[in-house]
Structure 1
Amino acid sequence: MRSTGAWGSTVLAVAALVSGCSSTTEEPPATTGGETTVAIRIAGRTVQPTNGRAEARVGQPIVLKVDSDTADELHVHSDPAHTFAVEPRAGQEFRFTVTVPGQVEVELHEAGKTVTTLQVRP
């Protein structure tokens, strides 16, 4: 029997690791389809979330689900920009897409608070 030496053992170990990784049953995260949803609750001058973070892809639907006890206005600082009138009621949904990658702030205008920042990827 021929010895492979230390270098040969290393190559075999790396090959075993690589083949082990390729047999995983986990699927990669979806990059198309689906939607990004941000739940927003406004109670008086309190907004949840405040300064939150979310991720989306260019062209992917983004849904803001809002429950509020006061009127206000959501501004989405994207290209194109979006503005949504918030009414004092539960169960409001605002849908939009973003066409340019980058950071997009969603701001509650009257309250003067950033609800979330979307990281929009190509």
Structure 2
Amino acid sequence: MTPRRLRYGLVAVALLTGCSSGTEPEPTDADEARTIDIRIAKGAVSPTNTRTEAQVGQPIVLWVDSDTTDELHVHSAPAHTFPVAATAGQEFGFTVTVPGQVEIELHHLGRTVTTLLVRR
């Protein structure tokens, strides 16, 4: 497990245990964040042209390690744009409120990282 995933998991556990009253509903898949690890190195992008399933309202977290600057564009309604720096450990989060296909692309490199298949 990577340090950032461990950190995210520990935060989630702390939030869940700290807020638990015994009367709250069980979490659903839509409550759990969908994480996508993105690596940009020497002009290569990983992943490229993948499909990722998600649900309406589910938190989406993009973890980015990059050796160059770029912009991540999320083609949803509303759209999201995130500036990518030439550094490791960047985290960008958003949710999608409308079902359908949502492309996440790198603007300057002109590559689609993944297409979210967002369902109700």
Q: TM-score range by the shorter chain?
A: 0.7 to 0.9
Whichever of the two has the greater Rg, that structure is 1
Task: Write the distance in 1 (CA, Å) between the matches of 2:30 and 2:79.
Answer: 22
Match of 2:93 in 1: 95
The question of 1:65 aligning with 2:57 is answered: no
Task: Write the distance in 2 (CA, Å) between the matches of 1:77 and 1:53.
Answer: 14
Unaligned stretches of 5+ residues in structure 1: 1-29
Match of 2:48 in 1: 50
In the TM superposition, what is the alpha-carbon distance from 1:31 to its structure 2 partner?
3.1
Indicate the SS of the match to 1:39: strand
The TM-score, its normalising length taken from structure 2, stands at 0.75
CA contact (8 A) 2:30 2:56 kept: no
Deviations 1:22-73 (A, max 9, x none): xxxxxxxx43310101000000210000001111111110000000000000
Match of 1:82 in 2: 80
Match of 1:41 in 2: 39
The TM-score, its normalising length taken from structure 1, stands at 0.74
Task: Write the distance in 1 (CA, Å) between the matches of 2:95 and 2:30.
Answer: 13
Task: Write the distance in 2 (CA, Å) between the matches of 1:102 and 1:32.
Answer: 15
Q: Give aligned pairs, total.
A: 93
Q: Following TM superposition, where does structure 1 have runs of at least 4 consecutive aligned residues deviating by more than 3 angstroms?
A: none
CA contact (8 A) 2:102 2:117 kept: yes
Match of 2:113 in 1: 115
Task: Write the distance in 1 (CA, Å) between the matches of 2:119 and 2:111.
Answer: 24
Unaligned stretches of 5+ residues in structure 2: 1-27
The alignment's C-alpha RMSD in Å is: 0.8
Task: Write the distance in 1 (CA, Å) between the matches of 2:100 and 2:56.
Answer: 9
